[in-house]
């Protein structure tokens, strides 16, 4: 690291190592079995005081019988191969033990992770796509089934400390663990049939393999380098099933390049500058997973019709102008990703309807009427079809079929946008040339999402039906919208989990109902009872969230609320609504010029623009107490930034408890002299600066 002074980080002492090992395996388990405890102490000593090794070995053995412990101890006492680098020699022996105790599927997933560059954050979706191509799983029902099985394998690997969990369904492989995985696949250690060549992330500018060493390789990874050209002579890789050269600078692939690797099942050429596909590509008749995404100059893919075994085809963000009729020959296709293809203006008639095994379709273009030949009605009749992600011009909404088609989908993401085609294309190419941003197929905990932007959108059937079955909505620059209820929804919003409104100039509130309308409702279900996220930004007419009787509002599942640049918003939560925020985790309010209080000390609504107090006989949420005390059991973060008129967080005089609060930031709120009246029970908190301390004195 080129530091001025080296700092020695010692291994754990014998006593510390034993404490850690017992914590992982379980004190009670060892205390109740003296024979096992004796072996466990010897196993701990063999771990050499290295926490990573102790954790890996402990997790691998904790649920095993004593004979497995004895066998493991015997293996740990054996020396690692002499050719292994000294700093990982001991780690190899111990982590190889954890690997040996895995089932076969987890082993294969573990080895796949070593194909990526050091410190790469790995997406389980990509692992699943590779796993489908390699046919790792037997009797695979669907792409979604593959994703679930990969997650199960990843869970096994993380619980064994062979992978490190990362946010967003991602994982990471520790450097030492990756070294061990590479040794497993490159040395004579063990009986594995796999042999990998991994040169990922090494800043290589060219690749010239030696033919005499090529015959034994099963997987090659050249990802994340600077390779501009490939050998022009024919290569001989008779056993190769995986070739990954993702994120390089390739513009041309020699026509003969793939002739000597006819067993390849997984080919990843994404994030290059490829302009055309080589003729030898059609010889890869066993290819199952092919990724050509983000080759923005690639505009012709007819040759792919020769690859009859393809199940996953990704041409996202390429320069293709047409989905040609040849793609209709890929009758085994399960997933077709043609999202973010801004030059795509035509789909050959009947092509998509021939793909009768299709499960997931991703399609996005800026051209009007480009979706007219997708055959949405025909696709909906496929027995296997489960997911549709579609980005299109908002004027094409009439192309959506009537009826209950979308209710049968397990997952969808519809984006209706009016965009300038020329500017969009220029910006897209500039972005992909200058910045290697990975805008790939992604999953969300929200399974049915709807995004509408820059539109005087006709909120009529069948589009209005989408709102009723969506669990997440984002509306951007919608002129005619006043509120969520009743403008977009009828009596029920049971599915809705996420609301995002941006630059909708006429929105005055989220819910606006008169008492007369409310009493005529056929259901007693409360509005927003499933909502987990609310994001509101640049709503110039928003004064309050709920202009209705508050007995119909429940935010019991709300976790995150973010408000910014809502100039006329006066307060955020009325008292009775705040009392029901049992799952709230984060509040962020920025640049709201009129906001005076976050939680009002009474229940208020507006009538004709004036604030009035709710009547005493208003119903309250079940579990809300008459003493008006409030507790936020899960609230950890509060951000209040640039709120010139904010006087207090809470304007009442009762008790508020914040048992989980970790961070408060109050910045540029000159009118706020104290946090609030009443009693505020908080743990120790981290303040942005000392000025905030005055709020609590």
pLDDT at 570 over 70: yes
Of the ranges 294-303, 374-383, 400-409, 634-643, which one carries the lowest mean pLDDT score?
Answer: 400-409
What is the token pair recorded at 137?
A: 């799983």
604-607 vs 586-590, strand pairing mode: unpaired
- pLDDT at res. 626: 43
- Cis preceding linkage at 339, omega within 30: no
pLDDT at 213 over 90: no
- Cis preceding linkage at 310, omega within 30: no
Question: Do 309 and 290 meet the contact criterion of CB atoms below 8 Å apart?
Answer: no
Mean pLDDT of 537-566: 93
* 467 band by pLDDT with thresholds 50, 70 and 90: confident
Question: CA dist 448 to 42, 293, 414, 469, 559, Å?
Answer: 53, 24, 8, 7, 19
> What value does the mean pLDDT of the chain take?
84
Give the percent of the chain with pLDDT over 90.
51
Beta carbons within 8 Å of 585's beta carbon, 6+ residues apart: 559, 560, 634, 635, 636, 637
Higher pLDDT: 493 or 242? It is 242
Mean pLDDT of 429-452: 65
Mean pLDDT of 167-172: 90
- Taking residue 512's Cβ as centre, other Cβ atoms within 10 Å add up to 19
pLDDT tens sequence across 487-500:
888 666 778 999 99
- pLDDT at res. 491: 64
Q: Rounded to whole angstroms, how far apart are CA atoms 353 and 646?
A: 58
pLDDT tens sequence across 518-537:
555 555 678 899 999 999 99
Question: Do 587 and 578 meet the contact criterion of CB atoms below 8 Å apart?
Answer: no
- pLDDT at res. 500: 96
Q: Rounded to whole angstroms, how far apart are CA atoms 24 and 55?
A: 7
- pLDDT at res. 52: 81
Closest by Cα among 658, 655, 663 to 633: 658
pTM: 0.84
The three-point CA angle 612-615-621 to 5° equals 110
Q: Annotate 437-481 with three-state secondary structure.
A: CCCCCCCCCCCEEEEEEEECCCCCCCHHHHHHHCCEEEEEEECCC
What is the token pair recorded at 182?
A: 């590479």
Beta carbons within 8 Å of 324's beta carbon, 6+ residues apart: 301, 302, 305, 348, 351
Give me the long-range contacts of 491-494 (CB less than 8 A, separation at least 24).
491/521, 491/522, 491/523, 491/525, 492/468, 492/523, 492/525, 493/468, 493/527, 493/528, 493/530, 493/531, 494/525, 494/529, 494/530
């Amino acid at each position: 690291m080129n530091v001025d002074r080296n700092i020695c980080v010692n291994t754990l002492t014998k006593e510390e190592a034993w404490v850690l090992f017992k914590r992982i395996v379980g004190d009670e388990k060892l205390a109740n079995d003296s024979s096992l405890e004796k072996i466990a102490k010897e196993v701990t000593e063999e771990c050499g005081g290295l926490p990573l090794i102790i954790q890996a070995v402990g997790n691998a053995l904790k649920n095993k019988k004593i004979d497995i412990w004895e066998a493991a101890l015997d293996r740990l006492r054996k020396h690692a191969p002499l050719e292994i680098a000294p700093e990982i020699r001991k780690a190899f022996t111990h982590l190889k033990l954890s690997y040996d105790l895995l089932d076969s599927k987890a082993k294969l997933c573990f080895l796949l992770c070593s194909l990526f560059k050091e410190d790469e954050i790995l997406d389980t979706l990509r692992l699943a796509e590779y796993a489908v191509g390699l046919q790792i799983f037997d009797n695979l029902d669907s792409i979604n089934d593959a994703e679930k099985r990969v997650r199960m394998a990843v869970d096994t690997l993380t619980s064994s400390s062979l992978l490190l969990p990362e946010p967003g369904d991602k994982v990471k492989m520790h450097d030492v663990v990756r070294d061990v995985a590479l040794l497993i696949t490159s040395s004579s250690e063990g009986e594995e049939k796999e042999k990998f060549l991994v040169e990922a992330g090494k800043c290589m500018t060219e690749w010239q393999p030696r033919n005499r060493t090529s015959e034994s390789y099963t997987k090659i990874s050249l990802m994340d380098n600077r390779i501009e050209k490939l050998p022009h002579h024919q290569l001989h890789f008779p056993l190769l099933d995986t070739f990954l050269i993702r994120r390089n600078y390739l513009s041309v692939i020699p026509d003969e390049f793939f002739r000597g690797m006819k067993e390849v099942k997984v080919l990843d050429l994404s994030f290059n500058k490829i302009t055309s596909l080589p003729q030898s590509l059609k010889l890869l008749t066993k290819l199952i997973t092919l990724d050509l995404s983000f080759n923005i100059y690639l505009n012709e893919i007819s040759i792919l019709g020769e690859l009859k075994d393809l199940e996953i085809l990704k041409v996202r963000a390429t320069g293709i102008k047409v989905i040609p009729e040849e793609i209709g020959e890929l009758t085994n296709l399960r997933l077709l990703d043609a999202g973010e293809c801004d030059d795509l203006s035509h789909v050959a008639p009947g092509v998509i309807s021939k793909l009768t095994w299709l499960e997931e379709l991703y399609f996005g273009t800026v051209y009007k009427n480009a979706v007219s030949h997708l055959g949405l009605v025909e696709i909906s009749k496929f027995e296997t079809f489960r997911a549709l992600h579609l980005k299109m011009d908002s004027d094409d909404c009439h192309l959506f079929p009537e009826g209950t088609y979308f209710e049968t989908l397990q997952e969808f993401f519809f984006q209706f946008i009016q965009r300038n085609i020329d500017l969009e294309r220029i910006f897209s190419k500039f972005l992909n040339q200058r910045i290697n941003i990975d805008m790939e197929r992604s999953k969300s905990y929200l399974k049915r999402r709807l995004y509408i932007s820059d539109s005087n959108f006709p909120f009529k059937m069948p589009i209005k039906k989408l709102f009723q079955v969506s669990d997440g909505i984002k509306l951007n620059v919608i002129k005619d919208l006043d509120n969520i209820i009743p403008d977009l929804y009828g009596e029920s919003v049971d599915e809705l989990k996420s609301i995002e409104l941006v630059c909708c100039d006429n929105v005055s509130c989220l819910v606006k109902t008169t008492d007369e309308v409310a009493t005529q409702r056929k259901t007693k279900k409360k509005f927003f009872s499933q909502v987990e996220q609310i994001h509101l930004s640049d709503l110039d007419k928003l004064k309050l969230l709920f202009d209705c009787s508050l007995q119909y509002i429940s935010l019991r599942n709300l976790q995150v609320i973010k408000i910014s640049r809502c100039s006329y918003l006066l307060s955020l939560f009325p008292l009775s609504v705040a009392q029901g925020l049992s799952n709230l985790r984060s509040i962020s309010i920025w640049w709201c010029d009129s906001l005076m209080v976050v939680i009002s000390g009474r229940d208020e609504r507006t009538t004709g623009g004036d604030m009035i107090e709710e009547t005493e006989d208003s119903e309250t949420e079940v579990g809300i107490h008459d003493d008006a005390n409030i507790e936020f059991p899960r609230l950890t973060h509060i951000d209040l930034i640039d709120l010139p008129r904010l006087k207090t967080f809470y304007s009442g005089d009762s008790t508020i408890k914040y048992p989980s609060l970790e961070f408060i930031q109050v910045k540029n709120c000159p009118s706020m002299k104290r946090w609030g009246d009443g009693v505020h029970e908080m743990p120790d908190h981290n303040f942005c600066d000392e000025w905030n301390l005055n709020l609590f004195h």
